[in-house]
Structures are given as structure tokens and as C-alpha cells.
Structure 1
């Protein structure tokens, strides 16, 4: 474990799930990540952006932030249920990087993003295919309910339908938003829990577009599900978003 220098994460999910923003918050950055190919050569971000808009994406590329080079991210673009080639490429990558003898190239956790902006289709055939067919081995998967604050509009509309006077009812809106989040989380847990390879954890994330956003719950969940103490220690020492997590880990040592 001493030979592992960087904590490596595969981030998955549909387009516009807020993945890059989450990585920025984790790394305390407002900049776009630097991108490197599998050989360590830096890639022009404009070239990557152009190819991504045309449907091409290389999961082998490494994303890193200058503010915290201890994290290395791989981004798997969302795949539709019928996109067999993209799914197979992702699956091959996971199998290879979960068990490679090159310890510094192993992935340590997978963050699977499901945006709450599309809560009418939280678990599609694509999610079911992944959790039924992709055995990630010892690499745990955490489902991230992203953009959970989008539920505030649903909460607003439901309260209006119930006859509430919205003006001055902010507390009621927050309560309803929390209720909706719990409902959708329970639904997602139920659907994915029936799959062959269910997630190991779930985290909801709100207002990640704000620079002051708190992602300590994501770090806490990730640390808790890691099955090796050395990886926990690596994550704790690398992350910068939660001093409390550092203190908590130190107390339990």
C-alpha cells in the first residue's frame, strides 16, 4: 500500500449530471481539470471537448486538478441501454483497473452519478445493466444523487397543489424537499438493491455549483466503505474537504 501514491476514482453517469463540478468541490478548485493520456502526456482540453461533443470519449484519460494532484479521476460518459460498444469498453476498463498488478493504476472506488433533475427516470435500463452485469470485484460503487436541490421546484409545485400559500413558507418547502429526496432515495435503493451487483453506499449532494458547497458526506461515505485501512489512510490524507474527517480518523487510530 505504501507504493500507491494517488487515490484513483472512476466517475460515471449521464451527461449533465454535474460530475465535473463535484470533482472541483472535492479538489477545492474552480479550474477545469488537466487531462493526460495513458502515457502521462498532457492533452489539449479543447481537443477533448471537441471530440466529446461528437460522441467520442476515452475512459483511459486521467483528469487531475493542480489544487490537489493526489486525486486521479477517470470519466466514463453515460451510456444508453443499447450502446453495447461503450458499455463493453467501460466494463473492460473496470475489470482491468480493479485487478492490475500495476498498483498505481488501480481504481479504488467508483462514483455513479444519478441526477435528481431527471427524477422521473432515476433508474433506467442503463443503470440496471451496469449493476446487473458489471462485477467491480473489490472496488466499491457509491451512487451519488446529484443536483438534489433541483427537488425544491417539485416541492414548491406539490405544496401549491396542496393549497399552501408559498409566500413565507420556506421552512415548509425545505421540509417537502427533504421528504421528496427520501422518497427518491428509497426508490433508487429498492431498484438497485435487487440487482446482482448493488452499490455499497448512497450519498445525496446539493448545491455543488457553489464554491462553498460541503462534500464531506461524500468523503465520509467513501472512507467508510473502503475495505483496506491503507486506502482509507490514503483517502483521508488526500482529501481537503473535511477537517472533521481527518480528526475522526486520527482519534480512532
Structure 2
């Protein structure tokens, strides 16, 4: 099974992305570090509020070939939670048991908070957490939230509301590009910068296309057999399978 650690603030749209990747609207089932299903109501309620134990496995019935872990906790500034997350990454990056290893890390940064995209938590992670051979991909989530910023900017320039809405997509692209360049500038200067960056928009829509995310993840994998493992978890995605065959 392909194992991914998902990181980022509680409002970064992480669960929505995982649901789209697994083509479902259901909540994931939770299993503890020993593979036992978690049935405790209090634990499930905490998870639904965005609080996860990083050791818990989140698995969707629609595609059990993916196993997700959620780091939520250290972003609030707790040193103990950061150390726990760091130990998890270190241990699971080189676990002797192949099935326990994490294969990729998705770090979600929401553009809905464009005034505070990179906080102390992101800087701390990319300065202090060495993920070894496990690729870290920064996902710029909620990129379509900049549409409203684009409309406001155009109206400030004197456009009518109708004109602003018509011109907004082009300005939105420029704003997205500006955010990406800023984030790259900040993170690429740190000790352990991410391997790649990907802009994600429209993930709230049912049936949103995750092909670019999966392609980006496949391209980041260097270990023998891991691309095949990721592709095999997405057999229904013909485009991805063909792309992988060409890459090979």
C-alpha cells in the first residue's frame, strides 16, 4: 500500500484532497499504529475536528491501497508535538518493514490565508526535519480563493463588478503565480527545502481531477518500484497509467 504523510494547518483542505484522490465523499476509517480499527467515539470526534494522532492510519473504503497519516498538532507551536512528528518522519522514512514506510509527504499551504502563507511552523519543519529519501511536495491548496482577491483588486482599479468578474481569472493566475514565487523564495532558502510545488484549485468540487497531483508525486519518487506502487493504486486512471508507461 502507498503511504503518505499529509501536513499543514487544520483548515488547509487536507481531508478534501484525500477524498478526491480516493474518489469518495466519505470520512476515512481510522486504524491505530498496530492496524486495529479505532472505534472510540471520543477519538473519532477529535479526528473530525481536525486533531489526529500521527500514528493513526486513515484509510478510505473506496481505495484502501492508500494509507494516510495526518500530522495535525505541531502547527500550533507545541515543541512536544513537533518532536513527535519529527520522530515519526525519521522512523517511517527508513523503517525496516517495507509496509510501514512512508513514501511521500504532502505539505499543504492554503492560499485562502495569503497574508500568512508561511508561518513559523513551516519554517521550523523545512529547517529542522530531514525526510531523507522521502520526497516532500508542497501543495498550494484553495488556490481558487484568490478569485475574490482578484475581483476586489480590479474593482479598486475602477472596474465595475461585472467587468471585474470577467477579467478576474487572468488576475487570479497572476496572484497565484506571485504566491508561488513568494513561497518558493522563502522555503528554498531553508535547510531541507521541498522537492516540488503544486497549485491545487477546485478540490471542493466532487469529481475534481487529481491527475496532476498523482503525476507530480510519481515524478518525485526515486526508489525502485515506488512509482509502480503509486500507479497500481490508481488503476482506474488511464491517463496516469499511460504517462507512467511513457516515463518508463
Q: Same fold (TM over 0.5)?
A: yes
More displaced 10-residue stretch of structure 1: 170-179 or 92-101: 170-179
Q: Distance in 2 between matches of 1:184 and 1:59?
A: 29
Deviations 1:146-175 (A, max 9, x none): 111110110010001111123155441000
User: What residue in structure 2 maps to residue 3 of structure 1?
Assistant: none
- Please give the residue correspondences for 1:61-72 in structure 2 after superposition, counting only pairs within 5 Å: 61-72=56-67
Deviations 1:44-65 (A, max 9, x none): 3743243358896310000001
Shift of 1:127: 0.3
User: What residue in structure 2 maps to residue 112 of structure 1?
Assistant: 107
Does the alignment pair 1:98 with 2:82?
no
Report the CA distance shift for 1:224/1:166 in structure 2 as closer, same or farther (over 3 A).
same
More displaced 10-residue stretch of structure 1: 240-249 or 79-88: 240-249
Report the CA distance shift for 1:202/1:241 in structure 2 as closer, same or farther (over 3 A).
farther
User: What residue in structure 1 maps to residue 11 of structure 2?
Assistant: 16
Shift of 1:240: 5.4
SS of the residue corresponding to residue 5 of structure 2 reads strand
Shift of 1:79: 2.3
User: What residue in structure 1 maps to residue 183 of structure 2?
Assistant: 188
Give the counterpart of 2:119 among 119, 124, 146. 124
Q: Distance in 2 between matches of 1:26 and 1:54?
A: 21
User: What residue in structure 2 maps to residue 247 of structure 1?
Assistant: 242
Q: Distance in 1 between matches of 2:40 and 2:190?
A: 37
Report the CA distance shift for 1:156/1:225 in structure 2 as closer, same or farther (over 3 A).
same
The answer to whether the Cα contact below 8 Å between 1:14 and 1:114 also exists between their aligned partners in 2 is yes
Gaps of 5+ in 2: none
Q: Distance in 2 between matches of 1:185 and 1:46?
A: 40
Q: Distance in 1 between matches of 2:49 and 2:66?
A: 28
Q: Distance in 2 between matches of 1:51 and 1:170?
A: 39
The answer to whether the Cα contact below 8 Å between 1:215 and 1:241 also exists between their aligned partners in 2 is no
Q: Distance in 1 between matches of 2:77 and 2:70?
A: 20
User: What residue in structure 1 maps to residue 129 of structure 2?
Assistant: 134
Report the CA distance shift for 1:163/1:241 in structure 2 as closer, same or farther (over 3 A).
farther
More displaced 10-residue stretch of structure 1: 60-69 or 78-87: 78-87
Report the CA distance shift for 1:68/1:177 in structure 2 as closer, same or farther (over 3 A).
same
Shift of 1:204: 1.0
Shift of 1:216: 1.0
Gaps of 5+ in 1: 1-5
Q: Distance in 1 between matches of 2:20 and 2:50?
A: 26
TM-score by length of 1: 0.93
Q: Distance in 1 between matches of 2:220 and 2:50?
A: 33
Please provide the CA RMSD for this pair: 1.8
Which structure would you say has the larger RCO, counting Cα contacts within 8 Å and 6 or more residues apart?
A: 1
The answer to whether the Cα contact below 8 Å between 1:28 and 1:241 also exists between their aligned partners in 2 is no
Matched residue pairs, number?
248
SS of the residue corresponding to residue 148 of structure 2 reads helix
SS of the residue corresponding to residue 71 of structure 2 reads strand
